[in-house]
Amino acid sequence: MSTSDTRADDGRPAGLAKPGALARLLAPVRPHLIACGVLSALSAAAGIVPYIAAAEIARIVLERPGGAQAAVWTWVGVGAAGAALWLILLVQSSRIGHYADAAILHDLRVRIVRHLGALPLGWFRATGSGRVKRAMTGDLEEMHEVIAHALGQLTGAATVIVVAMGYLFLVDVPMTLVALGVLALMGVCYRVSMRSMTSHMNRLIAAEGRISAASVEYADGIQVVKAFGTGGRVLSRFDDAVHEYAQAFAAWVAEVRYSSAATRLFGSEMAVLTAVTAAGLAFVSGGSLTVADLVAFLVVAVGLPTSILPAVSASQGVRKGRMGAAHIERLLSHAPLPEPEHPRPPDGHGVEFDRVTFSYDGVTNAVQEISAVCPPGRVTAIVGPSGAGKTTLTSLLPRFYDVTAGAIRIGGIDVREIPSAELLASMSLVFQDVALLRDSVAENIRIGRPGAGDHEVRQAAAAAHVHDVIERLPDGYDTLLDGGGGGLSGGERQRLTIARAILSGAPIVVLDEATAALDPDSEAAVQDALASLAVGKTVIVIAHRLHTIAGADQILVIDRGRLVERGSHAELLGLDGLYARMWAAQEGVPA
Ligand SMILES: Nc1ncnc2c1ncn2[C@@H]1O[C@H](COP(=O)(O)OP(=O)(O)OP(=O)(O)O)[C@@H](O)[C@H]1O
């Protein structure tokens, strides 16, 4: 998790949840939550009745020994009815709470997934998967705790205090004040122990994020770690994060150790029992309290901590739920890719960059005033030194980001006027970091055109020069690939994605050529596959190794965000400029 993850977009620490984010997100199930709260309160009230009945029976037996059998049996009936009602209402409130929980979490998951689908792809590159994952798992889980558990526990505890104290007040006021005093001490200690919870929680969440980022970094880069022995550095980042977590936790514990121990002490049956017994015996010997009334306190007041303590963890659950809700609301508030008000379909698939300027930070332009036409049926190569702006320029075409100035047109229509689904469907994006899904080989190709028949999948694989490789796999086209495409070489994985692009039949192909050198056979196979893919299409290829694009119809040379040269390979060599120097450097031929 990056630092940005621990802060709200307005710079406020993430723990300081926007007030009301939880209430706003739960609005669709508010009636269910109110019903759940009311039933929990009624259930808690019914749950205290058997204790009151026991106390009343004790008072009758002690005050009128041998008499009032009917009254005893009435209280037995009341107690049994209270217990039955407690159970029935508890089950009902839990049923409604869990129903609301399932409904709202489903609703939020769908909203998050739809929203993610509408966010610009550049947002994912900048944000990373950790934040998305946290919203879909941890943050929702924290909201679940509030809806399904904390709400009922809090209303239940509040009701138990009101009903029990109401009854005890009727029995004896001074004794009730003694019991209340113990519980009030617990409340004060709890508030003291929770005073700095938000800042400690933020520190812990930030450290937790760094632990998870370091673990992902280690797992993702395990090959590099093992091959180059950089495990020490990656592991030390993990170690530092774990150490920071332990320190944050220790600092919190050190600060709250006395207040939370006191909370436990005053919130225990032991404390209430001691206070009630001591005060009660004093009052009894002073003649202001009967033994029967003392028994009522021993039965009802001593049980109170057991009913109230779950509310302590529930209130922490609510704090966490508010934080989770704030994270989710923030994710949902990121502006989606603006869809055109008056969508227009492109007329053709030639691509035109018209004085395109783009800045990531609003200060420096990564791409500046680039104008070029990429005609259909032709290959346009983009070359230039590292950091020149090649990837940036091509990522503006599928609207990973929108241009800062100028325009990009497909078939004469500004990409911002083309519906985003149609825009993405009009192009195949073949990137270096080959994305294979955990699915069969056939399905990995079929993503290009869901619903394509087996025969078409095989044809695409054959055109991409990867059919024979697939046939040699243990289960052929049904072989399951792990996420990284294990079992296939780099060149084979690339050809698989090229087969995917061939099957999609999209008229525009954007290709980020692999920087890593393949062995000559593999490279030749990839080149042949690309030639099949390019037929009749508008092909834009970012080239790192110039000899692979020497035959391109036009080559655009970019340097520091600007288009500095353009022409065919021969023309560019004739210019004796940047391209000629790059060619000489790569091919070992003097320019
Ligand atoms: N997500 C981003 N946020 C901010 N700046 C970025 C981002 N991506 C790239 N840049 C910057 O924009 C400039 C152009 O980068 P870009 O990746 O487009 O270059 P490139 O020519 O594709 O480089 P390479 O050949 O090394 O891939 C660089 O200065 C880079 O640091």
Name which of 182, 175, 181 is nearest 284 in CA terms: 175
Query: In the predicted model, is pLDDT for residue 148 greater than 70?
Result: yes
Distance from C-alpha of 526 to C-alpha of 466, rounded to nearest angstrom: 9
Confidence (pLDDT) at 231: 56
> In angstroms, what is the span from residue 390 Cα to ligand 1's centroid?
8
Residue to mutate, 4, 360, 563, ligand 1, most ligand atoms under 8 Å from C-beta: 360
| Position 232 confidence tier, pLDDT thresholds 50, 70, 90 | low
Percent of the chain, pLDDT > 70? Answer: 88
The pLDDT-based confidence of 415 (bands split at 50, 70, 90) is very high
Question: pLDDT at residue 1 above 50?
Answer: no
Q: Among residues 99, 445, 486, 339, which one has the least CA distance to residue 454?
A: 445
Q: Indicate if 236 and 91 belong to the same structural domain.
A: yes
Rounded mean pLDDT, 276-281: 94
Q: If you average pLDDT over residues 269-278, what whole number do you get?
A: 92
**pLDDT grade for 16, boundaries at 50, 70 and 90:** very low
**Residue 520 to residues 514, 525, 527, Cα–Cα distance (Å):** 14, 9, 10
Q: Could you give the CA distance from residue 464 to residue 371 in angstroms, rounded to a whole number?
A: 32
Same domain, 414 and 562: yes
The alpha carbon of 579 and the centre of ligand 1 are apart by a number of angstroms equal to: 20
Q: Which of 226-235, 300-309, 524-533, 548-557 has the lowest mean pLDDT?
A: 226-235
Measured over the CA atoms of residue 548, residue 550, residue 552 and residue 558, the dihedral's sign is positive
Label residues 295-312 b or e (16+ Cβ within 10 Å = b). Answer: bbbbbbbbbbbebbbbbb
Residue 284 has pLDDT above 70, yes or no: yes
Residue 397 Cα to ligand 1 middle (Å): 15
Give 269's strand partners.
none
CATH no. for residue 195? 1.20.1560.10
By most ligand atoms within 8 Å of CB, the mutation choice from 125, 357, 391, 400 for ligand 1 is 391
Give the lowest-confidence range in 22-36, 202-216, 321-335: 202-216
Do residues 356 and 327 both lie within one domain?
Answer: no
Task: Answer yes or no: is 400 within a domain.
Answer: yes
Report the C-alpha dihedral over residues 104, 110, 114, 119, rounded to 10 degrees: 60
* Alpha-carbon span 468 to 447, nearest angstrom: 20
Mean pLDDT check: name the lowest of 81-85, 125-129, 169-173, 536-540: 125-129
Res 39 pLDDT > 90: yes
Residues 469, 492 contacting (CB under 8 angstroms): yes
> What are the strands, taking DSSP E only, across 192-349?
none
CA 549 to centroid of ligand 1, rounded, Å: 21
Does residue 554 share a domain with residue 465? yes
Q: Which ligand 1 atom sits nearest the alpha carbon of residue 393? A: 18
**Quick one: 269 and 398 in the same domain?**
no
514 shares its domain with 570: yes
Q: Are 328 and 393 contained in the same domain?
A: no
- ipTM attached to this prediction: 0.96
Res 82 pLDDT > 90: yes
pLDDT, tens only, 498-509 = 888 888 888 999
Evaluate whether residue 291 is within a structural domain. Answer: yes
In this structure, what DSSP letter does residue 481 have? P
Give residue 221 CA to ligand 1 midpoint distance, Å. Answer: 21
Buried-state track 3-41, b at ≥16 Cβ within 10 A, e below 16? eebbbbeeeebbbebbeebbeebbeebeebbebbbebbb
Asked if residues 245 and 208 have their Cβ atoms less than 8 Å apart, the reply is: yes
pLDDT, residue 256, reads 84
User: Does 9 share its domain with 97?
Assistant: yes
> Among the listed ranges 273-287, 365-379, 489-503, which one has the minimum average pLDDT value?
489-503
**Parent domain of 98:** 3-333
Report CA(545)–ligand 1 centroid distance (Å). 18
* Residue 45 predicted with pLDDT over 70: yes
Give the mean model confidence (pLDDT) for residues 164-178: 93
Distance CA 18, CA 62 (A): 56
Q: Quick one: pLDDT at residue 75?
A: 93
Q: Which of 290, 306, 333 is the last residue of a domain?
A: 333
Domain with residue 563: its CATH number is: 3.40.50.300
- The number of distinct structural domains making up the chain is 2
CA 389 to ligand 1: nearest atom: 18
Q: What is the mean pLDDT of residues 532-559?
A: 86
Banded model confidence at residue 220, pLDDT cuts 50, 70, 90: low
| Structure token pair of residue 303 | 């049980």
Closest C-alpha residue for ligand 1 atom 24: 386
Q: How many whole angstroms from 292 Cα to the centroid of ligand 1? A: 82
Q: Supply the residue whose CA is at minimum distance from atom 25 of ligand 1.
A: 386
Please check whether residue 70 lies inside any domain of the structure: yes
- The model's confidence at residue 568, banded by pLDDT at 50, 70 and 90, is very high
How many whole angstroms from 240 Cα to the centroid of ligand 1? 30
Domain boundary among 333, 364, 396: 333
Question: Ligand 1: distance of its center to the CA of 386 in Å?
Answer: 8
pLDDT at position 113: 83
Same domain? For 295 and 411 the reply is no
* The pLDDT of residue 432: 67
306 and 391 together in one domain: no
Strands (E), 297-359: 351-358
pLDDT, residue 81, reads 96
Same domain, 309 and 416: no
pLDDT of residue 558 exceeding 60, the answer is yes
Helices of type H across 4-68: 21-25, 30-63
Q: Does 311 lie in the same domain as 358?
A: no
Whether residue 443 lies inside any domain: the answer is yes
Angle at 63 between CA 58 and CA 65, to 5 degrees: 85
Residues with a CB atom less than 6 Å from ligand 1: 125-126, 360, 366, 384, 386-392
Q: Name the closest-CA residue to atom 5, ligand 1.
A: 360
DSSP class per residue in 228-267: HTTHHHHHHHHHHHHHHHHHHHHHHHHHHHHHHHHHHHHT
Contact 358, 365 (CB under 8 A): yes
Inside any domain, residue 64: yes
Residue 344 lies in a domain: no
Edge to edge, the sheet with strand 351-358 lists 367-374, 351-358, 405-410, 413-414
| Protein residue closest via CA to atom 12 of ligand 1 | 366
What pLDDT shows up at residue 209? 73
Q: What is the mean pLDDT of the chain?
A: 84
d(CA 198, CA 204): 10
Q: Looking at residues 530-557, what average pLDDT do you find?
A: 85
Q: Kindly report whether the global pTM for this prediction surpasses the value 0.90.
A: no
User: In 414-519, where does DSSP find H-type helix?
Assistant: 420-425, 441-446, 454-463, 467-471, 490-504
Compute the distance between CA of residue 114 and CA of residue 143 in angstroms, rounded to an integer: 19
Whether residue 478 lies inside any domain: the answer is yes
Looking at the CA of residue 361, tell me the nearest atom of ligand 1.
4
399 three-class SS: coil
